[in-house]
Amino acid sequence: MDGDLIVKAQMWFNGKTAYNGGGLIADVKPEHRLSERNPTFRGNLMVAEGAQSSTAILSQPDGIVLQDLPFAIELRKFIVEYYATGMPRMFASDIVIHDKATGDKREARVEVNHPANFKGIEIYQSSFEDGGSSVKLRAFPMNAATRPFVVEGVIGGSSQLKRGEGAGDEKLTLEYTSLRVINVENLSGESAAGVDVHKADLREALGRHLGAGNKTTTKKDLRNVGPSITYKLRDAAGQAREFHNYMLPVDTGDGVPVFLLGSRETPSEPFRYLRVPADEQGSLDGFLRLRAALDNPALREQAVRRYAARTIDPARPELATQLSASASRALALFAGSEVVNGNRTGGLQAMADFMEANIPEAERNRAGEVLIRILNGVLFELLQVSREQAGLAGLAADEKVQRFMTQAVMALSDAQLYPAPMTFQLQDFTQVQASVFQVARAPGKTVVYLGCALLILGVFAMLYVRERRLWIWIAPEDGCMGASSHATMALSTNRKTMDGDREFDHLREKLMGAREQRT
């Protein structure tokens, strides 16, 4: 009565067919819809905040069937609460049910395991989705050919990136996949290398093995790192890459807040993150200025001259030319301006390939240390030059700036492999939640409840009602054909009890008495 058989019967005998196209629900033809008088169904209904819906979707193997409801559900507010781990603890929906026949309105709250009922139809809280949140993204260039720009869209929609809008010579489609307002991550940073082996704490050691079963020896520092945006960039051939970027910089324990820019080729792969250090203003601008200056030969040459002037003793000017040549070569290799072994790679990989091809193996370690020291120094000067170009004051070479430069060198090297000409950072958003309801008309539930009640009564009857069986075999007694009979009695019960033994003895005495009276 509550299964899919009645829906199948309507599709077989009433001309109903499954719908597998797209478009608006209002445009779907009647042959793909079931009547409001359908005696049984179970479908899903998604309603965004501030919107109404009165059509449920019934999934079929070859498409969907629409189920018209005798009422419309309006979602006024969706409420969700989270555990410390970021998992939803409770979600509920404040709804208004609009009766189509009378126009009456009824307010209700639907929670998990607490459905609402209207006209014999149960409304269950199933899950929740994004209801079309609007987002504002700022595109940051990952190479010199891309210009910054701002784009706005809606989750579930897309935007075309045309030429002249930052996409370079390639036409891309930006698809807004999802918006997550809360991201709880474990930022404890605890590892085996950081454990003090000389520390002896008996109470902590016992606690690892005793107590609740959900204990763990790994300490967690759960922290909400803020909103994130997931999007796809699809090229003209239809190939897409998925990206996941956090809105705010995250302190991963290195002392330098970094922006996490994730990417992956297929949904089955985990995201791989590029860690871009945040500048003193907590933005990407400082790194992007350094990235743009690295692609500018004139600014690179200016940084090399300043580095040589700061490093070389004025009393030995003959070393300036040699140091400038080495610094220019290291910076050009790092920027990807030189071809090594037929490849133009850039980053630390280009410097490693250069040393492998031109420096003997015995001298590579020492040469590598020298090149890295020169690279760090000239990149710091390049950072100062980029700030001067932007009208900003220079930075002091303190510990904080050194940590920034260390992370920036790694990010500049990894940025050579970033699979897109730009990255998008979430600037602003307006969240719109949507609630997914399951609506069901189940006339067979009365039969199910009755069966459950009978099952419970049967279980208690098995426990407390004794089942006894009595057998009596009557046969003629030997030598007295027809005059007397011999009776054999047996008793069985489902449980061995003292009452059963006493009852058997009582019946045996009664039978023996009857034998003596010849009845």
What is 85-134 written as a DSSP string?
TS-EEEEEEEEEEEETTT--EEEEEEETTB-EEETTEEEEEEEEEE---E
Judge if 140 and 122 occupy the same domain: no
Q: How far is the C-alpha of 286 from the C-alpha of 400, rounded, in Å? A: 14
- What mean pLDDT comes out for the span 34-55? 91
Q: How far is the C-alpha of 400 from the C-alpha of 385, rounded, in Å? A: 19
| Number of domains making up the chain | 4
Judge if 256 and 327 occupy the same domain: no
Lowest mean pLDDT among 322-331, 422-431, 479-488: 479-488
Lowest mean pLDDT among 187-201, 279-293, 491-505: 187-201
CB-based contact 249:258 (threshold 8 Å): yes
- The amino acid present at 125, given as its one-letter code, is Q
Residue with tokens 């299964």: 3
Q: Is 207 contained in some domain?
A: no
- Take residue 494 and report the two structure tokens written for it: 């489902």
Give Cα separations from 414 to 270, 277, 366 (angstroms).
17, 12, 24
Q: How far is the C-alpha of 121 from the C-alpha of 36, rounded, in Å? A: 11
Judge if 349 and 230 occupy the same domain: no
Domain that holds residue 498: 466-516
Q: Is 353 contained in some domain?
A: yes
Q: What is the pTM of this model?
A: 0.73
Q: Is 203 contained in some domain?
A: no
Of the segments 78-87, 204-213, 436-445, which one has the largest average pLDDT value?
436-445
Judge if 486 and 352 occupy the same domain: no
Judge if 106 and 161 occupy the same domain: no
Judge if 311 and 351 occupy the same domain: yes
Judge if 275 and 164 occupy the same domain: yes
pLDDT for the residue numbered 190: 47
Judge if 254 and 177 occupy the same domain: yes
Q: Is 196 contained in some domain?
A: no
Residue 196 has pLDDT above 50, yes or no: no
Q: Is 194 contained in some domain?
A: no
Of the segments 309-318, 347-356, 453-462, which one has the largest average pLDDT value?
453-462
Give Cα separations from 504 to 137, 474, 487, 489, 500 (angstroms).
89, 17, 14, 9, 6
Judge if 381 and 443 occupy the same domain: no
pLDDT confidence band for 66 (50 / 70 / 90): very high
Q: Is 377 contained in some domain?
A: yes
Judge if 238 and 256 occupy the same domain: yes
Judge if 376 and 442 occupy the same domain: no
pLDDT confidence band for 440 (50 / 70 / 90): very high
